[in-house]
Homo-oligomer: A and B are copies of this chain.
Amino acid sequence: MSLESCKVVWTAPLKLEDAKWVKLVKTVYTDPNSKTRDWESAERCTRPAGVDYDGVGIVAILERPGTPPALLLQKQFRPPIGKVTIEVPAGLVDANETAEECALRELYEETGYRGEIADTDKSCLMFNDPGMCNTNLHMVHVKIDLEREENKNPQPQLEENEFIESFTVPLKDLYTECRRLEKEGYAIDARVGTLAEGFEIARKWRFS
C-alpha cells in the first residue's frame, strides 16, 4: 500500500452530459477592435455560488527554535497526470468560508496540524492557466508552531478516498529538492515549483 503503486488503468473522452466535476465552456467575446470572436475553455463545477475563486493553496512554514524554517509539502496521486505530485496543502473553498478559514480547515484535515494565519497577507487571486481554464486560488500563509502540544503528534483527518503523505523541506533547500524529487519520478505542482524558482531568482539577483 503506497502512493507510488497507484496506476491509471484507462482513460476515455468524457461527454459534457456525463461529467459531474468539470465542464467545457464556449465564450463569445469582443476583441480590442470590437470584433466578435470565440474561445473554448474548461471549468470546475464545484465553485460555490457567489464566490469568485475555487480554493486555496497553503504556504505553511514550520517553526522550531534551532532548526531552519521548513515548508510543509505533500505527496498525492493525481489521476489527470497519472503521477504522484509534490504539492502544498490545498483545498476547495466551502460556501460561507473565508480563504483563511478554508486554509486552516484544509491544513488540519490533510495534515493534522493546527496552524495560525501568518502576518503575510494572503496572495492576490492567482489564475492557474487563464488561456485554458478559469481555475484560481489564493495562497494563504500559515505558521505552524511545533512547540504547541497539539502539533506534537498530528493526525490527519482524511476522507475515505484521500491518500496524502506530508513531509517538510527547509526553505533554503526547496529548489534542489524539487529537482531531486522530479528525477525520482514525482511531478512538481506549479505552486511548489514556482516558489522554488522565485527563491532561486531572489538568491541569484539579491535584489531584496
Contacts and interface: CB of A to CB of B under 8 A. Distances in A.
Contacts of A127: 78, 81, 85, 187-190
A127 to B, nearest CB: 5
Contact of A198 (B16, B136, B195, B207): B195
Interface residues of A, number: 99
Given A87-B130, A187-B130, A208-B172, A25 B13 contact: yes
A22 B133 CA distance: 9
Contacts of A137: 190
The residue among A18, A30, A38, A128 with the most chain B CB atoms within 10 A of its own CB is A128
Given A32-B163, A59-B197, A190-B190, 12 more contacts: A8-B27, A11-B28, A14-B23, A15-B24, A22-B42, A27-B82, A29-B77, A29-B82, A198-B202, A199-B202, A202-B203, A203-B208
A49 to B, nearest CB: 16
Given A32-B3, A190-B191, A42 B133 contact: yes
A99 interface: no
A30 B13 contact: no
Nearest to A35: B161
Interface stretch (A104-112, A118-126, A147-155): A118-126
Contact of A22 (B12, B87, B132): B132
Nearest to A204: B120
Interface string A173-197: 0000011001000011111011111
Contacts of A9: 28-30, 36
9 contacts: A78-B130, A85-B130, A120-B201, A126-B190, A129-B135, A139-B197, A194-B198, A198-B198, A199-B202
